[in-house]
Amino acid sequence: MKIYHLNCLQIESAFGPAIGHCLLLRDDSGLTLIDSGIGLAETQEPEKRLGKELIEITGFILKEEYTAIRQIQKLGYDPKEVKNIVCSHFDPDHIGGLADFPDATIHVSQEEYTCFKSANERYLPQQLSHLPEMRCYENNDSEFFGLSARKLDLDFESYLIPLFGHTLGHCGVAFINDGKWTFYVGDAYYLREEVNNRSHPVDQLATIRAMNNELRIKSLDSVRKVIADYGNEITCFGYHDPAEFYHEQPLG
């Protein structure tokens, strides 16, 4: 399997620059995305697609070159080869790119899809208006280094790892390649520094953004334990920390 690390978003926040760290996986079955960042239409009509208020609050910097579809084309692949997209959750900065791959099957926890359909104001319904094929997972049928896991219906060994709290169905994604595990934790933390610093200032933002903060903290503690116990066996990173992205970039 070939692994590409894509930065599909730039954010200017009070805590410094942040990114949207997505993965593109290439195997014999085609291309798989893990999260999709901001989409092409959102860079072309940002206020219509996202809303001026959201852009100003978040500090999104929207450029066409950041979109997953443009990066995939730059790598020399046909975007139609993207057959599957695994979503950690359905916050706007994670799923805007879904519409750029209308034939891809979307893989997500059942809890997250149910929450998305509940008219919760944090979500943008138009981001799924292209009505993609959905594959929702609700049963914890496996285990990943002591954590509950849900085996994904993909051609390689991969799992959704429930890390609820940021949203009610937020999950990490784990997969193995050449005997090495990758554990993408989505927004379980914003910055890797939170793993060792429980009072990091960004925790205030994470608390505000959490749909269930008690669950969020429990999930983050689970990530902390996996890193502490198995950090030498697993490559672990989240969505927003630029330091992690630039550390992993040579794998691409």
Long-range contacts of 225-232 (CB under 8 A, 24+ apart): 225/146, 226/145, 226/146, 226/147, 226/183, 227/195, 229/145, 229/146, 230/145
pLDDT of res. 230: 95
- C-alpha to C-alpha distance for 45 and 41, rounded to whole angstroms: 6
- Residues of the chain with pLDDT below 50 are 249-252
Say how far apart CA 229 and CA 69 lie, in whole Å: 37
The pLDDT of residue 248 is 63
Amino acid at the residue 172: G
Domain boundaries, the chain: 2-251
Q: Which residues contact 80 (CB under 8 A, 6 or more apart)?
A: 103
Homologous superfamily (CATH) of 2-251 is Ribonuclease Z/Hydroxyacylglutathione hydrolase-like (3.60.15.10)
Distance of CA 37 to the CA centre of its chain: 8
pLDDT at 15: 81
Angstrom CA distances, 128 to 39, 105, 124, stand at: 12, 12, 8
Provide the pLDDT for residue 4: 97
| pLDDT tens string 131-176 | 999 999 999 999 999 999 999 999 999 999 999 999 999 999 999 9
Q: In angstroms, what CA-CA distances link 52 with 84, 120, 128, 209?
A: 30, 19, 20, 19
Summarised one tens digit per residue, pLDDT across range 109-139 is: 999 999 999 989 999 999 999 999 999 999 9
